[in-house]
Amino acid sequence: MSHMPLRKNPACLNCGTFVNERFCTRCGQENTEPKETVWHFVTHFVNDILHFDGKFFNTLKYLMFRPGYLSKQYIEGKRAGYLDPVRMYLFTSFIFFIVFFSIMRIDQGQIKGSISFSDDPKIDASVKDELKSQNVNIDTAQLRTRSYTRQEYDSLISKGIINPSWVEKRIYYQQIKLKEKYGEDQGGFMANFVNSFNHNFPKMLFVSLPFAALILQLLYIRRKNFFYVGHGIFIIHYYIFIFIMMLLAIGLTKFFTLTNLNRINYSGLIAFILIMAYLYKAMRRYYGQKRGKTFLKWVLFNSAFFILLIILTGGLVMLSFFEMI
């Protein structure tokens, strides 16, 4: 609700229907004066994002201190008093990644040194002799330094000297481009790679959501009253908690750094322990199983989730590598 003054004209500005209260019964538009002050515009914008009519703080309270409660309330249909989980996920992830990008961004000058790109298409000495005998257009110096242009590399392929897979060719072509762009500049290469990785990190977390929900679906496959979307809501609330804990850990780490108290900074470890404990408590309350079963499924979920993160991180590294040109 915008709290703007009501119009004296009872006809809805949007559809023309007679409005006898604040909201139109046909289209739902609030029958208020269309001219807004800057303050009204800003407060209306904030209210639309966070529902600062008590929902945001009420949701945050239960999310932080009653693991699994909000997810249980959601699947039971008790949703009016809480902020929508998807909206809260978008808001918290937005805040988290603003902070994350501002801290984790690396400038080229921060990394010094040289880097060597492996340009060897795996040609041994006998093959090099065969190359020379076939008059392939690569001189002896290039063979010794193992440096090839794309044209020379394609020549090796066309003459049947090497037979790389499609993936090997793509990687090698990318190495050639990177060498042409960065040369031996380790700073520029590493800075761009890390920044590209960090930029794609939110995508990895977003992609991991449905897979994490699928893991829970398999773990609780015999619980017919829990559907896939219900597992997804549980994971969304869990991710929101992770974002908040990581924000707190980042803030404390920054504080300890500024005050030269790094030796007593265990905020990252404490955050990790709390996140793991939170997941167990949330699973226990949400799925309602005994401690032993919950602990076993907690271990299985974390093991499967760890493998999932390794796979997604590998894909993220490849994506970041290919996006650098």
pLDDT at 145: 42
What 3-state DSSP class applies to 137?
coil
Phi-psi region of 132 (alpha: psi -120 to 50; beta: other; left: phi over 0): alpha
Length of the chain measured in residues: 325
Compute the radius of gyration of the chain from its Cα atoms. 28
Residues 6+ apart with CB under 8 A from 223: 287
pLDDT at 129: 57
Buried b (16+ CB within 10 A) or exposed e, 124-141: eeeebeebeeeebebeee
Are the CB atoms for 170 and 321 separated by under 8 Å?
Answer: no
Poorest-confidence range of 32-46, 101-115, 131-145? 131-145
Amino acid identity, position 232: G
Amino acid identity, position 15: C
What mean pLDDT, rounded, does the chain reach? 78
Average pLDDT over residues 70-81: 90
3-state helix, strand, coil in the chain (%, to 5): 65, 0, 30
CB count in 10 Å sphere of residue 110: 11
Say whether pLDDT at 40 is over 70.
no
d(CA 325, CA 323): 6
Phi-psi region of 138 (alpha: psi -120 to 50; beta: other; left: phi over 0): beta
The residue ranking higher by pLDDT, 292 or 9, is: 292
Average pLDDT over residues 315-320: 77
Q: Domain extents for the chain?
A: 63-109+187-322, 125-182
Structure tokens at 68: 């699994």
